[in-house]
Chains A and B, each alone.
Chain A
Amino acid sequence: MSVPLDEVAQLVLNGLVAGTMLAVPAIGFTAIYAVLRFPNFSLASHVTIGAFAGYVANAAGGWPAWAAVVVAFVVAGAAGVVTDQVVLRPLRPAGALTTAIGAVALTIVLENVVRFGFGNDLRGYELPIRRDWQWAAVRIGPQQVENLVIAVVAMVAVFAFLAFTRTGKAMRAVADDPTLAGLKGIDAERVARLTNFGAMGLAGVGGVLLGLDTTIDPLTGFRVILSVFAAAVVGGLGSIPGAVVGALTIGVAEELSLLSLAPAYRTAVGFVAILLVLTLRPRGLLGERAY
């Protein structure tokens, strides 16, 4: 069986764009894991909350895409801090797995809050229709490029924040060794709140990117969550650069799977990737070091 090279090039390009978009919520998931040491499944509903917040700003408020991204970051981030303080923080003493169960219950509650307000209908952002750009046999849509730019800007901001700000360094210190960080006078609770705000904000941005790309409904976040897990686990759970590498890997793998699998199985690729990585290299491509 021969596969036309043009098609592969197109799929790899699509995969890199999709992977970059996936990296945004994946960074959020892995950052919470690095700092709070539990898989926060409620990220799914924060993706949805961000997608709907951006939708309200864009479709009802008539704001441009970049403004919708900012709105989604703030709304989802704030929701993340509030729900964590009220719901998940009190569960943390009972252990990571109990908190994980609480997070699944929380995601169901939040998803239904969105459903109660907006119903189950598919909704689309108000976007101008533009012609794809073409080089040789490879095409790319202006919207894809815009999403790519948004995702890259968000990621650069994250890395700059972690590398250069005092708070970013405190976050890395807590991720590295909470006890040592505490001895140095770092307030772990404050770091936890900031991590939640930033991480769930990124989840919200991821939701807007999905909304700009396709349509949204209350299950938007849940549908993408398997790919987010896969990105985080493949890169190394708790590693932020790992989440980026993992997301690009999963993005490309999901697109390339179209060569031999039905499109519906794209998300199953993430599951297979998790199984493979855990079997062969459980710490993931980049290990578990946060940064």
Chain B
Amino acid sequence: MDNYLVAMATFACLYALLALGLNLVWGMAGMINLGLVGFFGFGAYVSALATRRGGAPITAGVLLALVLTAVAGAIMALITARLRGDYLAIITLGFSEVVRLVASNEIWLTNGTDGISGIPGPWRGRVTPETFNLIFLAVAAVVVVLVLAVLQRVRHSPYGRVLRAIRDDDQVAAVAGKHVIRFKVEAFAVSAGVLGVAGALWAHYTSFIAPDVFVPLLTIYIVLALTAGGTGNNWGAVVGAFLVVFFLEGTRFITAVVPGLGAVQVAALREGLIGVSLLVILRLRPSGLLPERLPRVAS
């Protein structure tokens, strides 16, 4: 039971990283990323390949994942920076599908749908599995705290204020002399980097990745986490991520409540419930549990 709780807490930390990454673009800058699972998967594959095939140390793998996903994010933001936000939605959704296609088909590199196993984890094999789980939970928690601290700093800084201005009306921000495209591209790149780090940590934690880990449903989990927690609020992102993990685990008990369903039907019911809850929150409480409170402006 303890192991189960530790594992769930670790997954919640990784979801929190994803929700924080999403909050930087969607919550603060008003840019949408509907393919965040693509950046997550891309980061996971980069770090897994660098360490498993390339023999790089884990920290180097994670850093490489950070840099490469940030570059991928910057390219996509740059291409769509001048267009309506809908184009970014389409292009990110497309990116996540392409990542899955490449991961499934470049068998020489990614081992195809069989996935990559034996991805190293910090001190894995040298300590008991229980200790490894605890170490990893600590690592994930430290990364969450670091990212949270940095993003809180961004939120309260003039930089964060510009992002909010762009979110609320990018023309006004441009008229005020802000280089809107530069801010958009930077924010999107940093956010993508955070998603990539989350992916890399996921790979090193579970030691196994395959294309079907990175399904569009995961994007919905994270959007749900951020919306439930409070779009625009970094603490909300973290709280929302823990709530979503709790909720996901809770839906496992559907089988006990509704007997006589096949495995496929249970899976369908669970996925459907996730979608329904996101729609209900968007409709009834779009500001989430911890609504964004604008930082007070010093007079």
Enumerate chain A interface residues (CB-CB to B < 8 A). 33, 38-39, 41, 87, 90-91, 94, 96-98, 100-102, 104-106, 108-109, 111-113, 115-116, 119-120, 222, 226, 229-230, 233, 237, 262, 264-265, 267-268, 270-271, 274-275, 278-279, 282
Contact = CB atoms under 8 A, between A and B. Distances in A.
A100 B101 contact: no
A87 B282 CA distance: 10
Given A229-B90, A271-B98, A116 B265 contact: yes
Nearest 9 interchain pairs by C-beta: A109-B275, A112-B272, A108-B275, A115-B268, A116-B268, A112-B268, A105-B278, A271-B94, A105-B275
Interface residues on B, range: 35 or more
Nearest to B266: A116
Interface in B76-94: 79-80, 82-87, 89-91, 93-94
A226 B35 CA distance: 12
Given A97-B32, A108-B220, A108-B275, A39 B268 contact: no
Contacts of A119: 262, 264-265
Contacts of B85: 96-97
B276 A264 contact: no
Please classify the interface of chain A as helix (H, G, I), strand (E, B), loop, or mixed, using the class held by over half of its residues: helix
Contacts, number: 129
A279 B91 CA distance: 12
A104 B271 contact: no
Contacts of A233: 87, 90
B98 A87 contact: no
Contacts of A91: 282-283
B98 A268 contact: yes
B223 interface: yes
Interface string B90-121: 11011101100110110000000000000000
B283 A115 contact: no
Contact of A262 (B86, B105, B271, B276): B105
A274 B286 contact: no
Nearest to A283: B83
A275 B79 contact: yes
